[in-house]
Amino acid sequence: MKTPNVRFDALLVLSQVLEQGKALDDALASVNVAQNPKDTALLKFLCYGLLREYEALDYLLTHLLDQPLSPKALQLRLLLLLGLLQLKNSRMPPYAVIHETVALTKKLKLTYASGLVNAVLRRFEREKPSQLALLQNKFFPEHPAWLIARLQQHYPDCWQTIIRHNNTPALMHLRVNTRKTTRRAYLASLETCGIKAYIPPGFPDAITLEAPVDVEQLPQFNEGLVSVQDLAAQLTPHLLQLHAQLQVLDACAAPGGKSCHMLEAAAIDLTSLDVSTVRLQKLQANLIRLGLHAKVVAEDALQFAHTAPSAGFDRILLDAPCSGIGVIRRHPDIKFLRRESDIAALHATQVALLTALAALLKHGGYLLYATCSILPEENDATIKAVLSRLSELQAVPLFALPLVKALPASPYIRNTAYGIQFLPEPKSHDGFYYALIKRSLA
């Protein structure tokens, strides 16, 4: 079997993201085949690290070059930035990093630049303390200007903090399948395996790992005892107040984390709907691993809303298509791929989906609207637009619910006019939004 060249694969992935506009997960999947866990970890370190620190690394590069690189020399720039990332942040021997990076110039047909690559990386390593001092007390937003402006507008008290949090790696959180085990029992299993973890306050089914691990290292992962899911996303079944026999619709369900969690929480009759057949395969795989069952439907949610029997569900979850601004630390490619014009288009889609799905809600039923965005245009503004059209709907004050009252007091959990906004917090949850809507009894 051919030995994989992880650094070359990283360059392929980054080129797909930055030149072709491909999502990082999709780009990783295109090259991350038959790699062992160690290679996979290195590949992710390189790709995630460079996208998180692109601006700071590029700043260092400008101080190491005698002449600026051509804007067209993206492959050479990425190669140099990857070398600097490894010398700055990894424990790899510097001579190995420099050797491997220079060797890639031949594979990339950049042999003319091998001397430049060697000189730049050696200079950085030789002058490392003074080079790193250039970064001290300097703020690198690592976000596009349009997004910075919106964060300044909506969060004048903490926009820089949000940006810093977005530029840090996220923690790994587990959701315990309470049909099969308890948190305390699973925490003990983790301890037996030498995996350090703890129970975060306020999130009923969660365990947080002190350091991420491959899922195959998690005890009885394949037997369905746990899943990987962010803390804020784990509140879904509790906010919907699920109990047995309810007819429930998950309208944008794939890859199935929230569908599975709802089924773990109560013996509901669940319809899991999504337009993507590829992503629904992941949902089916999750259902099988966890030993759960749902009616899985491959259809566009708007089309489904127009053809399904009206007022057919006691509960509806709309985890709406959104910008993903709240999960940038897990998906740093969002900073490069999202455009300001996307926000208005997403808002229109969200309003259309919410309006159409509300017609499928039984009188007295609840619809939970969720996004992984922290932009009010996708959250409160969407709820306001729909409530102004449909008088039979009303927002439920989430902060009055016992579950929400039990959340830890935090400046990163905020009450809004219509829901609750989680802001990204390094030691806890991602950015996430919920609003709960009730349809009147008559």
**286: three-class secondary structure by DSSP:** helix
End-to-end CA distance of the chain: 67
d(CA 315, CA 416): 22
**E strands within 123-205?**
172-176, 197-198
Tokens linked to 365:
């039923």
d(CA 13, CA 186): 36
d(CA 400, CA 13): 46
CB 61 within 8 A of CB 80: yes
Omega before residue 237 within 30° of 0, cis: no
d(CA 381, CA 26): 31
Chain centroid to Cα 342, Å, comes to 18
Q: How many CB atoms lie within 10 A of CB 313?
A: 23
d(CA 205, CA 261): 10
Q: How many CB atoms lie within 10 A of CB 358?
A: 23
- Please confirm, yes or no, whether 372 is among the known catalytic residues: yes
The string over 55-83, giving b where at least 16 C-beta atoms fall within 10 Å of a residue's C-beta and e elsewhere, is ebbbebbeebeeeebeeeeebbbbbbbbb
Contacts of 6 (CB under 8 A, 6+ apart): 35, 39, 42, 43, 46
d(CA 181, CA 290): 12
Active site residues: 372
